[in-house]
Structure 1
């Protein structure tokens, strides 16, 4: 990932947007849950012969959470579409890894006039059995299974 991210302001959230390459067709490609633009670049490396746009979703990577809740695939897809609009992408291939694939599907279902193709990737990682960015989810699950919910929340916060 050579290019520095741009910042897209959505509501009160600052979202990091990576726009690399110059080729056609442009591809909007999203990371999985707990991932970031580095996860995307690991699986879909930068290249001069194509253009790739990636938005680090709210509360992931270097993007702020903002105050709007609940988080949803619809919210993330709206953020991605706003980033595409901001850089002038009218039509694009939508893709993603895991949660990013769900975002791409949402874009295609809601904006079929803009999405020219889909690239859907599972699982979210290809190099480790359980990558570092997924460990907090395992910890939360173990706490929820072993303690009352309020106690689990307090233990995780600590």
Structure 2
């Protein structure tokens, strides 16, 4: 028996979106299949724990932008006040590189919003780690991460 075309297309879309997101997170989401929300991320103890939680429970869609906000707030609170004006410009320029690599355009789909969010979080977590180790005199080493589909 032949499967209807619309069913095959639906299965293909689910595979393209869901499988890479599940494979990307090495950690399992503590809530299992239940979705997390921004309050779960806010409840995480510190920047790195919030980033790890979001990475493990990411949706792989535009909804991740809402989960990134509390992660970025936690991380940036740990280093932004300690940056010089020149370092802040470098941080913003690097964040713009995330936007350049993962542009959030309606024609490119919501996966790009997810990728941009994770890139921005990776940058903030890198700066946070450097600040925690007292290494903000120099600009932390960082490269735009490759975030796969």
Whether these two folds match at TM > 0.5 is no
More strand by share: 1
Flag the structure with larger Rg: 2
By relative contact order (CA 8 Å, sep 6+), the higher-ranking structure is 2
Length-normalised TM-score, structure 2: 0.24
